[in-house]
Each structure stands twice: as C-alpha cells, then as structure tokens.
Amino acid sequence: MIASNMDTVGTFEMAIALAQQQWITCIHKHYTLEEWDAFVATTAPEVLRHVAVSSGTSDADLEKTRLILQKYGDRIRFVCLDVANGYSEHFVDAVKYARRQFPTHIIMAGNVVTGEMTEELLLSGADIIKVGIGPGSVCTTRKQTGIGMFPFALFVSWSSTKITAKLIHQENVLCILSPSFYATIAAIHMYV
C-alpha cells in the first residue's frame, strides 16, 4: 500500500505510522529542506526505506528533490513525480530528467489513464505509474480543470497494448495493481 502525497495525507507522521506495516508514504512536496533534515535526523532507518520524496515538474520542485536525495538518497529509495494530468511533453521530460538524476531510485510517475501514456512514462524511466485523474473523493482536479477519468479507463485501453507495469491508483491510499494477482504480490515484495 502507498499513501498519497496529498498535503493532508503524505506527512512525516503518516510515514512513521505506516512504515510499521511496511507501507510506503509519498511525502508531500511542501516540506522545507530544514523540515526534511529534522525528520531524517530523528527517524529510524526502517521508516526512511518506506518514504518517497514527492515532486512536481517545476525547476524549484526538482531542485529540492535533488537536494534531498543528494543528502539522503542512500536511505530513501523512492521518488514520486506527481502532476494532476500527466499528458504533457513537459511531464515526460521531467520523468526522463528524474531517471538521469536518480538512476538507482524507484520512480513513480503520474497521473494518467491510458495504456499509451503508461507505456510512454515507462519508456521514459518510470518504474511505477499512478493511474486515475481526479477520481478521488477529496481530489479537486476534476472541479478545477474539468478533466477527470477513473482508473478503469486504463484497463480498457491497456488491453490494446502489450505493456506490463506496476500501477497505482490515485486516492488517499494507493494500491499497486497489475494484470494478475501474482504479479501484484511480486511487485509489492520487490519494492518493500
């Protein structure tokens, strides 16, 4: 299970609590570098293994992520690149940049809802794809942009592509999904 990087969910406190169950928490991007320093200094290494540094695609977001991982990348394994709507060349370029900058980290990227874009993000360097645009009960994307699609749309379009991926659904708590139950279990064990 993976807790979302929403500012009310992806908190340091949530990471400490969920790490006890070996769940991953995508820490929201609004913490300062000083807050990250304090968290890492007072947190058990086992918790840090279950934390993702979240980033948007702005230069400032990516630079902050780089600085966090420059300091703590040997303890933190996950990067979460998150945008409301992943259908842009700018987002694909950010995924490629993240793969170059963080070659040993597990990169989550999204949000998308089609097999074609899932494949594009995988080819660009993402390891885990976040699916669904605006389907969450507290997500404001659909209201703010008029765009939204549930993850089921991905499975319909996925059947026309030949991709295998670890997928997660955007909501307060996320699950790793796969075409088969056994591949899901394998993906969970691979990353936890």
Q: Check 25, 104, 139, 164 and give the catalytic one.
A: 139
Cα–Cα distance, 186 to 29 (Å, whole number): 29
Catalytic position from the list 141, 145, 175, 184:
141
Q: Is 139 a catalytic residue?
A: yes
CA distance 148 to 1: 23
Angle at the Cα of 160 from the Cα atoms of 88 and 139, rounded to 5 degrees: 45
What Å distances lie between residue 96 and 28, 65, 121, 134, CA to CA? 21, 15, 9, 24
**Which value, in Å, is the radius of gyration of the alpha carbons in the chain?**
16
Residue 83 phi/psi, 5° resolution?
A: -135, 155
Cβ neighbour number for residue 183 with a 10 Å cutoff = 15
Residues 6+ apart with CB under 8 A from 2: 23, 24, 25, 26, 52, 108, 168, 173, 174, 175, 176
Active-site annotation, residues: 139, 141
